[in-house]
Chains A and B, each alone.
Chain A
Amino acid sequence: MATTDAAPPAVVSASDPMRPEPFVVRHVTRETGDTFTLTLAPVSGSKFRPFAPGQFNMLYVFGVGEVPISISGDPARPELLVHTIRAVGATTRAMQKLEKGDWVGVRGPFGTAWPVDQAHGHDVILISGGIGLAPIRPAIYHVLLHRALYGRVVILYGARTPRDMLYPKELREWRSRFDVVVDVTVDRATMEWQGAVGVVTKMVQRSPFDPSSAMAFICGPEVMIRYAAQALEQRGTSPSGIFVSMERNMKCAVGVCGHCQFGPWFVCKDGPVFRYDKIQRFFGLREV
């Protein structure tokens, strides 16, 4: 089982990390009720920025504020910057009103990445819930683009109801491939739903992968991460092969404002992707 001592290395941003650069909205997609996707392109003068799957940008709405949002596009096509956003506060609600042609300020990319290179030769399980599919989608794109480098590929996704599923068209596309296992479940079914109903962890128990050498990427609410990691460990996956994406309040994104601390780590620069065994201890503690 390949292990590393440190979390995956960060990709350093080339631009001034403190000042947002203007990007223009090329496309807005309404996903589910409060979730939408912005496709951004650099305005002349701004450069497009290559990113690694799992990284995030700070997105700025003029005069309103700035929030950290994971990049959810294809790392092989960084000229289109894709962000899936959930409207939960003042800034994200302002973003919800943006239209094609509006400008958004972008700082980044920041943070550590999913270890897609380390996973070569291993089975890869990508587990997500709710909007957690957005930060993991770049890793899915990357793994599927380089499919031959990996063992079995399993995508497990849980949503609240069938109507709250993110990227349903893509989930169906991935599912239709012969070399990927896709299992989707919901907490609550609608009348038409003929798929699985139940928690994501149940799918972990039933999934076809070799636990002793698999690497798992988990993204979603912390409670979901905890239970999914437990289910993986019960099946025999080592915690050093499990990687999770954490979330905390962020203001600077470069490790000097103190807001994103989680134990000794700054989620903005030591994360958001962490190797589970390193942080496992803190996962069990309250209010850390």
Chain B
Amino acid sequence: MTIHSFEKILGEHPFFRDLPGPHLDTVVGCVSNVVFQPGEFVFREGSAADRFYVVREGRVAVEVFVPNKGPVTIETIEGGEVLGWSWLFPPYRTRFDARALNSVRALALDGACLRTKCEQDPGLGYELLKRFAGVVISRLEATRVQLLDLYGND
């Protein structure tokens, strides 16, 4: 896999769209290709959050394991979305389980590598944080609507 095709793939992904060329090159330097089989964990709760994932294809369930109940899915992430933001802030540990529900193809980005590069280049840091802020905001809004339990009994 050559670096040029990573550039193309990343540049076309909704999350990285319109990222200026030099920044895209920097990010590409931290990218690798990953595949998950159905049922395979992408990450477990409490593990080191050293990566985030740009999902290309497939569906990942974000889960919480509840004692006496088992794993409860709180949201599913599909192709075109981004998974994982705990790499941004200390203590850099994941808060949920993430499990592939079917065959998942994704790009994994090295969190530690990107953090260092963002410290060195605040411009890159701002571009990434803007995008992650957008992701967190829309997830929060969606979660709030889920909490409203609109279809439930009043």
Contacts and interface: CB of A to CB of B under 8 A. Distances in A.
Interface stretch (B24-32, B66-74, B118-126): B66-74
A164 B102 CA distance: 24
Interface string A186-206: 011101011111110110001
A31 B149 CA distance: 19
A221 interface: yes
B69, B73, B74: which has the most chain A beta carbons within 10 Å? B73
B80 to A, nearest CB: 7
Contacts of A88: 153-154
A189 B66 CA distance: 13
A159 B101 CA distance: 20
B119 to A, nearest CB: 33
B152 interface: yes
Q: For the side of the interface on A, what is the size category? A: 20 to 34
B140 to A, nearest CB: 12
A196 B145 contact: no
Q: For the side of the interface on B, what is the size category? A: 20 to 34
B75 A198 contact: yes
A244 interface: no
Contacts of A220: 150-151
A196 B78 contact: yes
B80 A206 contact: yes
Nearest to B59: A196
A198 B142 contact: yes
B146 interface: yes
Contact of B152 (A160, A185, A206): A160
Interface in A117-174: 129-131, 158-160, 164
A277 interface: no
B146 A189 contact: no
Contacts of A223: 145, 148, 150
Interface in B62-120: 69-76, 78, 80, 101-102
A163 B11 CA distance: 40
Contacts of B76: 185, 195-198
Nearest to B69: A191
Contacts of A194: 61, 101-102
A104 to B, nearest CB: 24
Contacts of A62: none
Given A191-B70, A201-B145, A221 B150 contact: yes
Given A195-B76, A197-B61, A197-B75, A160 B142 contact: no
Given A197-B73, A198-B75, A187 B153 contact: no
A185 B146 CA distance: 11
Given A197-B76, A220-B150, A221-B150, A191 B71 contact: yes
Interface string A202-217: 1000100000000000
Interface of B: 59, 61, 69-76, 78, 80, 101-102, 142, 145-146, 148-154
Interface of A: 34, 88, 129-131, 158-160, 164, 185, 187-189, 191, 193-199, 201-202, 206, 220-221, 223-224, 227
Given A197-B61, A223-B148, 13 more contacts: A88-B153, A88-B154, A129-B150, A131-B151, A188-B72, A188-B146, A189-B72, A194-B61, A198-B75, A199-B145, A201-B142, A221-B151, A224-B150
